[in-house]
Structure 1
Amino acid sequence: MKLLISTAFLALSSFAVIADAHISFRYPCPRRGPYSECPQPNDNQWDLVDYDVQSPLGTHDQITDPICKHPSSFAGVRPTFQAGQTIAAKMDVDVNHNGGSCQWALSYDNGTTWVVIQDHFQDCLATAPAGSTYTLPVTIPANAPTGNNVILNWIWNNNEGNRELYSSCADIVIQGTNGGSLSGVAPLFANYGPSSPFIPEKAVSGGNWGQQYFAARKPITVTIPPTKLKRQIAPLK
């Protein structure tokens, strides 16, 4: 039975998500993603697989999902990245909406606090072919503290179509300094419910892609305390 279920999982993972499919992480794996590269669920967790992982989190009219969609990933090995490393992140692209503005952010406290580590405004994913796996490079800051439970979040506001917000969260491990601080700005969550900033369609608005809202993001510093290293005591002779 387990073999049959795993085979079905692998078959389904080869397809783009059907319902309201647009864009998500494929690597690093999004939380509860349906891809064969991702940690697989236990036998009693198959109903928790997110086959709609590419869908937006909401529009300017309503919020349909939390920023990371799910509170956790399935148990499994998290990918490890070094501080200063550039990750060749792979995006599963169904529709590119003529690009948009991407933000990349890290959280060391399971999504309570975010700090933006990289931006790509206006034409992010504009050249990504429909139905493709597209690579976007993102660099972990060289001074990023070590963390075994870090979330890497890709956030995207599209240029064309419904005024939506996309977000894809991957659980990762960072090997960096033992404690320290990471400074940047808090991410912008626009077109995410009626109380959020509204970014219009770029072509319809005469080129307004929300630059005034991105420029107004608040500075933030995340501080991670150092981990006490265990002292090794030499055996008595």
Structure 2
Amino acid sequence: MKYAAAVGALFGLATMAQAHMEMIWPPPFRSKHNPHSTDIDYSMTSPLEADGSNFPCKGYHSLIDTAQGKPVAQWQPGQSYNFTIGGTANHRGGSCQASLSYDGGKTWTVIHSYIGNCPLTPTWDFVLPVDTPTGDALFAWSWFNKVGNREMYMNCAHVTIGDGGDRSAASKSAVSDAASFVSKRPAMFVANVANGCSTLEGTDLEFPEPGPEVTENSSNTAGPAGGCGSKNRLKRSAKTFRA
């Protein structure tokens, strides 16, 4: 009986270790929470591959123009929204970012950074910038865990900004708006996916370029290690401190 109990306990720990965390709102591609999913990934909580082979979005961003990739939310610039994270292995938190892509996942622009305690609570608020371009976009939640293996987590959802429309037929004005939006904000931070950049165990990642909107709740931060690059360095124009 003692042997069986020990095996059961070890199995439980292994299951929890594999559970990790996932974005459940807005529902990502192939998520069981996405009403459009027909090919559900039941390992949505797993991190990206260490070799970077399924960056970004675990490779599911390619579904955006399919029946499984229909929009799951419609947002308006300047309004407040949130994303929700679920799971059982939060690795004592870490740091997260919310980002948008308008080119099918080739490039990503940060709209909010969360330094520390992410995702120890399920819901995370942000304001969609007033200059956010309208049209179809990919929304991404990315996370660098505080303890455990050095990993990057990322889930992506298809959202419509404004009244929608086909960005492939965008006017020169819309293209210019998108370029302006990107130039004011940093690119998504990427690490732990065989790109020469890594995060440090036991600390909350201090994003080198968090962007103008930051929520910070950590007394133990550290920057990344390795060749992490530099782009669009910005000073923080806003901070929110959680109790």
Fold in common (TM above 0.5): yes
- Whether the 8 Å CA contact 1:159–1:209 is kept in 2: the answer is no
- Whether the 8 Å CA contact 1:201–1:209 is kept in 2: the answer is no
Q: Secondary structure at the match of 1:219?
A: coil
Letter in 2 for 1:107: S
Determine whether 1:39 maps to 2:36. Answer: yes
Runs of 5+ in structure 1 lacking a partner? 1-16, 42-47, 129-133, 221-237
The structure-2 alpha-carbon separation of the partners of 1:34 and 1:19, relative to structure 1 and needing over 3 Å to count, comes to farther
- Aligned partners of 1:154, 1:218: CA distance in 2, in Å? 20
Which residue, 67, 72, 92 being the options, matches 1:98? 92
- Aligned partners of 2:197, 2:47: CA distance in 1, in Å? 16
Letter in 2 for 1:192: V
Letter in 2 for 1:109: D
Q: Secondary structure at the match of 2:18?
A: coil
Looking at CA atoms only, which structure, 1 or 2, has the larger radius of gyration? 1
The structure-2 alpha-carbon separation of the partners of 1:212 and 1:64, relative to structure 1 and needing over 3 Å to count, comes to closer
1:11 aligned partner: none
The structure-2 alpha-carbon separation of the partners of 1:26 and 1:211, relative to structure 1 and needing over 3 Å to count, comes to same
CA positional deviation for 1:116:
0.8
Q: Secondary structure at the match of 1:80?
A: strand
TM-score scaled to structure 2, two decimals? 0.67
CA positional deviation for 1:210:
2.2
CA positional deviation for 1:175:
0.9
Q: What do the CA deviations read for 1:87-138 (whole angstroms, capped 9, x no partner)?
A: 121112221111111111110111111111110112222x33xxxxx11112
2:49 aligned partner: 58
Letter in 1 for 2:232: P
- Whether the 8 Å CA contact 1:185–1:217 is kept in 2: the answer is no
CA positional deviation for 1:203:
5.2
TM-score scaled to structure 1, two decimals? 0.69
Letter in 2 for 1:86: S
CA positional deviation for 1:58:
2.8
Letter in 1 for 2:185: G
Q: Secondary structure at the match of 2:158?
A: strand
Q: Secondary structure at the match of 1:58?
A: coil
The structure-2 alpha-carbon separation of the partners of 1:203 and 1:140, relative to structure 1 and needing over 3 Å to count, comes to closer
Q: Secondary structure at the match of 2:143?
A: strand
Runs of 5+ in structure 2 lacking a partner? 1-14, 165-172, 205-218, 234-243
1:186 aligned partner: 187
CA positional deviation for 1:38:
2.9
1:82 aligned partner: 76
The structure-2 alpha-carbon separation of the partners of 1:190 and 1:141, relative to structure 1 and needing over 3 Å to count, comes to same
CA positional deviation for 1:176:
7.6
Aligned length: 186
- Aligned partners of 2:25, 2:185: CA distance in 1, in Å? 24
Q: What do the CA deviations read for 1:44-75 (whole angstroms, capped 9, x no partner)?
A: xxxx321111110034xx33522111121514
CA positional deviation for 1:202:
2.2
- Whether the 8 Å CA contact 1:153–1:168 is kept in 2: the answer is yes
Q: CA RMSD in A?
A: 3.0
Greater than 4 Å deviation, 4+ residue runs? none
Determine whether 1:158 maps to 2:145. Answer: yes
